[in-house]
Structure 1
């Protein structure tokens, strides 16, 4: 076999291999995108929006999160720990009536503490903790972001001078509670948490200014929180 023929065969084989690699990569792209979209749900849409609609950039970011935190071993809470955390959350919700901002700050601290106790990155690494939570609790992690932002407003204002009113703080607490229940309840009450969350969202939309938020149970016989918005300070 001549040298020229050998070289030609090598070139052909290399071209076939390159073509196969490109085809496989293109085939994996949509499949990976669908997989990430299914896993992250609303978090996928937030990532795409954060990347100005660039789905590939968003998927790279989400894939990196899964690579870093997908194998994280979540720890169980001791019954005494669980009861303590639940008591503190209930107290924070009751405190909202008179001190909405302090209640939201306590919710932020509590979520960071509970997540750390469950084996997620420590609350001192907020961004990394949220990234890990988004891998395992994608449908509720944004509630944590909302209370964290509200808790860290300077003087109750953002850098552009916007303020977080009582209603916005209350919505943040409602969303954050779903994540809290996921973490503390270890998944046993996820469906009831989502039912309560949907009911809260519907009530928020339906209430008129000055309306009441009446007590109701959370599916476990508890009354998670109740207050009259007219008595809440900080609006």
Structure 2
């Protein structure tokens, strides 16, 4: 075997090894990126993956695009008086659910959209863009807004489905308004001083519970 042949074989072997190493690194990088996105988006990652029929590359492009467009948003603080006002409005719409469940859910949709806009997210007229931005900053609870929005525009949703939608949306509302803050706690205590708790307010008449 000539020296030239040996050199060519060595060159080919080196190229194969380098190529394999680069491919392995790329796969590891992709896997790390996927894990990072899954950690960041939680349930929103799974929803997006399902939305793209299991196409992980398409789902990753979608999520990364949202981060690029909305990741730089720095949520604005709410003035204590505004926070208390929003908390009081949420409690009132829960109370109204007993008599007018569909209107209460529509009011919740509107209140969430305006609360998000007050925090610096896209305004309510740009609903899809607002949802995308919220999915970046509130990925664990943004589905609550989608749920209440679907229920608000449904003509066939049952009272129980409306109730579940409102309960689901409450977590996002609490995220946006800073649940547990003194202002929110005081407002909730004032509105419920008659002894009617949050669970009771969401039970329609005739529920028997």
Q: TM-score, normalised by structure 1?
A: 0.70
Q: CA deviation at 1:118?
A: 0.1
Is the contact between residue 117 and residue 123 of structure 2 (CA under 8 Å) also seen in structure 1?
Answer: yes
- Return closer, same or farther for 1:187/1:33 CA change in 2, 3 Å cut-off: farther
Bigger Rg over Cα: 2
Unaligned segments of structure 1, at least 5 residues: 1-7, 157-162, 190-217
Residue in 1 that maps onto 2:74: 73
Is the contact between residue 121 and residue 129 of structure 1 (CA under 8 Å) also seen in structure 2?
Answer: yes
Name the structure with the higher helix share. 2
Residue in 1 that maps onto 2:56: 55
Q: Compare relative contact order (CA 8 Å, sep 6+) and give the higher one, 1 or 2.
A: 2
Query: What aligned pairs does 1:1-150 form with structure 2 within 5 A after superposition?
Result: 22-150=23-151
Is the contact between residue 92 and residue 107 of structure 1 (CA under 8 Å) also seen in structure 2?
Answer: yes
Q: CA deviation at 1:231?
A: 3.7
Alignment: residue pair count: 185
Is the contact between residue 97 and residue 204 of structure 2 (CA under 8 Å) also seen in structure 1?
Answer: no
3-state SS, counterpart of residue 197 of structure 2: coil
Aligned mates of 1:187, 1:230 — CA distance in 2: 29
Query: What aligned pairs does 1:178-193 form with structure 2 within 5 A after superposition?
Result: 178-185=171-178
- Return closer, same or farther for 1:187/1:26 CA change in 2, 3 Å cut-off: farther
Determine which of 169, 193, 197 is the counterpart of 2:162: 169
Aligned mates of 1:71, 1:188 — CA distance in 2: 25
Q: CA RMSD in A?
A: 2.9
